[in-house]
């Protein structure tokens, strides 16, 4: 068969692709039928910073930040409060625990914009004048850490655990502290620290 009578497969394929692409793109071309319907309405820049006042450790901070910012990133990146640690950033380890109106919360799972009007307490806020909180002192007394990375979260959680009335026994303390992981396995010492701090917290009437 003469080559001129062979079907030009390359050309056919190109024509097919061109036809497909131009059909698909037609609504996007200015002036093409359907172009107006496909044009997205003009919206505000979703990354525009939002203004918010956030109260941390008894002090109001006027800030502007991306609405998607987590409380953890706000504390660390915007306020320089690096005592609160980022472990997993997924709500799994407890390293980022802070108190919101006295209740423990995972700051990595909390949007910063939602804490307006609430009191955020971080590890820095437990010793505002350099005097250690009874729980901080107890962690030192009982060597309740090794690398120390989980320790701020453990201490914040331990303070709330006592205030919630969940430190009545070793088993209770283990149960209600189980959301705070320690890769160094300082768990027995942490239980002892919580037991020591509990009566001292009542006496001192501290958070």
Q: Which H or E run contains 160?
A: helix 151-163
Q: Which is nearer to ligand FES, 57 or 70 (CB)?
A: 70
Give me the count of residues in the chain. Answer: 207
Instruction: Please give the Cα distance from 182 to 34 (Å, whole number).
Output: 58
Note whether 150 binds ligand FES by CB under 6 A: yes
Residue 65 sits in the site that holds ligand FES (CB under 6 A): no
Q: Using CB under 6 A, which of the segments 23-31, 36-44, 87-95, 170-178 binds ligand FES?
A: 87-95
**Minimum CB distance to ligand FES, residue 75 (Å):** 12
Q: 27 or 137, CB closer to ligand FES?
A: 137
Smallest gap from Cβ 107 to ligand FES, in A, equals 7
Residues in 163-202 that interact with ligand FES by CB under 6 A: 182-184, 186
């Amino acid at each position: 068969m003469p080559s001129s009578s062979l079907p030009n497969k390359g050309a056919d394929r190109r024509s097919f692709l061109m036809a497909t692409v131009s059909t698909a793109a037609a609504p996007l071309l200015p002036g093409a039928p359907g172009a107006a319907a496909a044009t997205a309405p003009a919206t505000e820049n979703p990354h525009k910073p939002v203004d918010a006042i956030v109260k941390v450790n008894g002090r109001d901070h006027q800030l502007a930040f991306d609405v998607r910012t987590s409380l953890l990133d706000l504390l660390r990146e915007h306020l320089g409060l690096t005592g609160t640690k980022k472990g997993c950033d997924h709500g799994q380890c407890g390293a980022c625990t802070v108190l919101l109106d006295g209740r423990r919360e995972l700051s990595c799972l909390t949007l910063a914009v939602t804490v307006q009007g609430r009191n955020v307490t971080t590890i820095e806020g437990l010793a505002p004048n350099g005097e250690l909180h009874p729980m901080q002192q107890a962690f030192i007394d009982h060597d309740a850490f090794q690398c120390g990375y989980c320790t701020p979260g453990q201490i914040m959680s331990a303070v709330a655990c006592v205030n919630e009335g969940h430190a009545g026994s070793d088993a209770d303390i283990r149960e209600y502290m189980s959301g705070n992981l320690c890769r160094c396995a300082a768990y027995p010492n942490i239980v002892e620290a919580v037991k020591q701090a509990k009566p001292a917290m009542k006496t001192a009437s501290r958070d």
